[in-house]
Chains A and B, each alone.
Chain A
Amino acid sequence: MLDWLLNYAAHSTLLLGAAWIISARARSHHIRETIWKAALLGGLVTATAQTVIGLTPVAGTVTIAAPAPVPLPFEAAPPDRSSTEAPLPPQPSASRPPPEPGVLPAGWGSFDWRGAIVPVWLLIAGFLIAGYLARRALLARRIEGRRPVMTHPLADLLATLTEEAGIARPIRLTASARLPSPIALGRSEIAVPEAALTELDPDQQRGMLAHELAHLERRDPAWLTLVAVVERVAFFQPLNRLARRRIRESAEYLSDEWAVGRTGSGVFLAKCLAKVAEWMDSCPSPVPVAGMAEERSHLVARVRRLLDSTPFPTGPRGRTLAIVAAVAVLAVAAAVPGISLAVNPGQDSGSQDEPGLRIENQDTSRAIVRALMEATRDSDAGVRRAALSSLARFEDPSTVATFREALRDQDAEIRVVAIHALAEFKDRGSVGAIAALLTDENTELRRAAVQALAELPAGTARNELIAAIRDSDAEVRAGAIHALAELKDPAAAGALTAALKDARAEVRAQAIEALAELELTEAPEGLIAALRDPSAEVRHAAAHAVGHYQDARAVPELRAMLEDADAEVREAAVEALSEIRTDAARDALIAALKSRDPKVRRAAADALGARKE
């Protein structure tokens, strides 16, 4: 929480400061408003992204050294007369050299100021929010007795305006004698002073209603509530006040623009504003909602603007602006350095029985993950290795980028750890980087890479895997073949057929199994020859594969294999023959009934029985 506050304070200052500078140059109120809204909410977004979601900013994290806790006196001093030992003071922070024994770190009292920040903040924010709610309640009480305006010409005026603006939902119109100026309430209500019904001429009324309608259409009541809440919760950020002022100002100007656009002239609205200003003199207490003329200082400027004949400045609108603002905020979230306080050992002791323990554990876990991520950039390879191995155990998706980065470590062992972890994460995004390691000179690394690619959707790594079938290491070759089998990409068939001539039996067997996995339309070449392989393992796999492809050309070989020296090969031959539905295969099975191997005889009998001829 403290980290969040620190991050928010820093980020919001940056964003709001930037908004101040940029908005001064923007003439269009659309742009100004978007900038201020983005800056106000942006700080919340970026601070949350970095501290809660664990996004690591490009610029890293700035750590503020923890103040030293003052050492406690010994619970029980040793009953040693000669002992003049003083407890060793703890190190104030790892970045500073340890102090001389016996010297207490000066400066900090026994009171830990950091523990108090969050409670104090909650207290003040709660107080301010309560104040705001009280003001809203006061307003609600004041206009409690407002009456709906149904039959008055004003209602017809509103209906026409609503229809012209293409607003489908019904807009309530109410009047209250206790309102100093018209206001927009919630999603669909306009409350006007009673005087507005009588003292304004229809053109002025039209301008007034159009202005209020613009507030509703722009969702200003909701926006201003949100802005007011943010201002109070983040009361320590003075720039939020400015932002609120500017957003409100822009809301009025933009509503004026809208109203002028609807009514064709600013003159009537300007007259209406002048009238409203009179009413306000008699009822000076302002209301904290989107209204018409809360701040008199702006009224003059607005009236002048409405009467000015130059057209309002135009600029990009709506969606474009929102997208630009969102991108800008996200960029800040990714780029601005985060801030965190160094851990203060001992601060959280004794928290074991608190009900908030679970959440605390999550926080701890997150803190560990973050510290380990940092340690993966240590200058010492042993530290990086240990940190990365430890990090892998947390299986935290937010660490994937760290493991991707570790694929480029100088230390081969670290790269191996990263490869395995990324395979565990099923990280599609690192397939290319892992495939690139298939040409590394380190054998362990290549072995890990083929293993990982077998577990990942490695379709894009097909060519690298095919090349790895010619690796100098048999395990890499077998692993590449296995990974290709997982891809089930028929394009690998040629390379796999070539691997049937591999020097190592386990590679040949693996290639045969992979060829069976590919589900090719016809049996690949080379399987029949593999039935005569010197290795029983290969013959076994080949028999299984020709059975899978029901390759009738294999029958003579399979028949010969019924007398194979290896029992498993003999069984596989029977099974393959039972898959092949030719007369020759049936004859071979009949011949197998006379085998010396009882298992072969039984399997042949079963197979013949299942043929149902």
Chain B
Amino acid sequence: MKLALLLAGLALQEGQHPGPDSARVDTFLNAVRAADPMICEMVADQVGNFWTSYGDHGVGILADGSRAWEESRDSLYRTPADPAALRRLARGLDDPNPCVRRIAAKLLGQGDTGPGVQVIRDGLRSPSPRVREAAALAARHSEAPVLESALLAATRDPNPAVAAMAAYALGALERPEHVGRMSELTRHDEARVRRAAAHTLGQIEDPRVPPALVPLLRDRDEGVRVLAAEGLGETKHPGSLDPLLGALADASAGVRAAAAEALGHLELPRAAPALGRAIGDRDPRVRIAAAEALGNLEGLEQAPPELIAAAGSTDRDLRQAAVEALGNISDPRAIDALGRLLGDSDREIRGAAVEALARIEDSRVTPYLLRALRDSDPEIRKAAAAALGERK
């Protein structure tokens, strides 16, 4: 009885704000199908975003911008109730155009109850691998608990694309129960399946996750190693430290950068010397990731000399990362290096240098703050004036 009332209420709400009808779905899917692939991907990215904020109360609308289409647009981010519209979307999961399949999956996955979920469940059982893969993607967006067992089954799909997408979809649920299955998948022959498993393991908080991810740091696939490093960073488990330190020597720059970033997430100060050395990496991404990571280490009081030196780098982004990290470390030995940055041509860096100097409790900072008080930028003068007040 109660359920009937609830459903009636839902129906009433849906009546006020109906999902798209079949004509609307047709128009939309046809339009993206005919569009340039780049346009289609951009639309696919936007599906499910809350568009209404655009031009609120007419602000930001170009002159003569008619808003008649708003109602139909808004209908698109509600799950369709119209059976005909649902059939159109189900067919969309089998579209030859992957972008259209992706859009159909996202539209179907906009709710975790209702008739859309049933369409996804049916899709997972489709004879077509293309449909099963798209349905798994829809299931990821839906996050409907009722789809969990179907997704687990799909991880055993003979088609690796389906198995990978199913493993990826389970990551959205972040359930420790899946660690075992994911650990098995880390030994899958297909790299894309192992990547999905590594990614999903990184989402789950469980003590069994780090031991499952560590071996993946030596995977032959670069993407798997990157995702394993990222996942280990998310675990915040001290046991992840040494394997990640080892990954700083990976042949791939992407892996080294991911390992540096992950070490920053671990926040263990013991990583400081290795991260300091990583500032000398030949790849700029690794250098910046290492500098940023050093700023995240918990209770680090002494900045590695490489970080202090990086404050004088010609790479603007590295300077910025270094000065911000030094601001978190508050090491008096960095005073002069930070002081030199007060002459930087980039106002953001000068500002960050003042902020960093302000946090160091040492009398040698004062002359630099006095100098910053004469900066050409008022915000920097202001920060210096405020910081000098702390140096009574």
- In the complex, are the beta carbons of A79 and B388 less than 8 A apart? no
- In the complex, are the beta carbons of A94 and B374 less than 8 A apart? yes
Which segment of A174-182, A365-373, A471-479, A595-603 sits at the interface? A365-373
- A interface footprint on B348-392 (CB within 8 Å = 1, 0 otherwise): 000000000000001110111111011110110111111111111
Tell me which residues from 204 to 254 in chain A have a Cβ below 8 Å from any Cβ of chain B.
none
Closest B-chain residue to A75, C-beta based? B305
Closest B-chain residue to A357, C-beta based? B363
Is residue B2 within 8 Å, beta carbon to beta carbon, of the partner chain?
no
Is residue A352 within 8 Å, beta carbon to beta carbon, of the partner chain?
yes
Is residue A88 within 8 Å, beta carbon to beta carbon, of the partner chain?
yes
Chain B nearest CB, measured from A327 CB (Å): 35
Secondary structure of the A contact surface, majority rule: loop
Is residue B224 within 8 Å, beta carbon to beta carbon, of the partner chain?
no
A348 to B379, CA, bound (A): 26
User: A85-B312, A85-B313, A380-B378 are known contacts. Are A393 and B367 too (CB-CB below 8 A)?
Assistant: no
- In the complex, are the beta carbons of B386 and A83 less than 8 A apart? no
What chain B residues lie within 8 Å of A385 (beta carbons)? Answer: 382
User: A80-B281, A368-B370, A383-B378 are known contacts. Are A375 and B385 too (CB-CB below 8 A)?
Assistant: yes
A357 to B364, CA, bound (A): 12
Tell me which residues from 73 to 130 in chain A have a Cβ below 8 Å from any Cβ of chain B.
74-95, 98-99, 101-102
- In the complex, are the beta carbons of A371 and B310 less than 8 A apart? no
Chain B nearest CB, measured from A293 CB (Å): 56
- In the complex, are the beta carbons of B386 and A386 less than 8 A apart? yes
Per the CB 8 Å criterion, the residue count for chain B at the interface is 52
Chain B nearest CB, measured from A185 CB (Å): 50
Closest B-chain residue to A346, C-beta based? B336
- In the complex, are the beta carbons of B345 and A98 less than 8 A apart? yes
Closest A-chain residue to B283, C-beta based? A82
A75 to B333, CA, bound (A): 11
A76 to B315, CA, bound (A): 18
User: A76-B305, A78-B280, A393-B389 are known contacts. Are A88 and B367 too (CB-CB below 8 A)?
Assistant: no
- In the complex, are the beta carbons of A345 and B371 less than 8 A apart? yes
What chain B residues lie within 8 Å of A436 (beta carbons)? Answer: none
Chain A nearest CB, measured from B291 CB (Å): 11
Indicate the member of A85, A345, A347 with the most B CB atoms within 10 Å.
Answer: A345
Closest A-chain residue to B314, C-beta based? A85
User: A98-B343, A343-B371, A364-B363 are known contacts. Are A76 and B306 too (CB-CB below 8 A)?
Assistant: yes
What chain B residues lie within 8 Å of A343 (beta carbons)? Answer: 367, 370-371
What chain A residues lie within 8 Å of B375 (beta carbons)? Answer: 94
Contact of B366 among A367, A380, A389 (CB under 8 A): A367
Q: Contacts A88-B312, A352-B362 given; 10 further ones with Cβ under 8 A?
A: A75-B308, A79-B277, A80-B281, A88-B340, A89-B340, A90-B342, A94-B371, A343-B370, A352-B364, A364-B366
Leading 10 A-B pairs by shortest Cβ distance: A390-B389, A91-B343, A380-B378, A94-B374, A87-B312, A80-B280, A386-B385, A387-B385, A79-B280, A78-B280
The residues of A with any CB-CB pair to B shorter than 8 Å are 71-72, 74-95, 98-99, 101-102, 342-349, 351-352, 357, 360-361, 364-365, 367-368, 371-372, 374-375, 378-380, 382-383, 385-387, 389-394
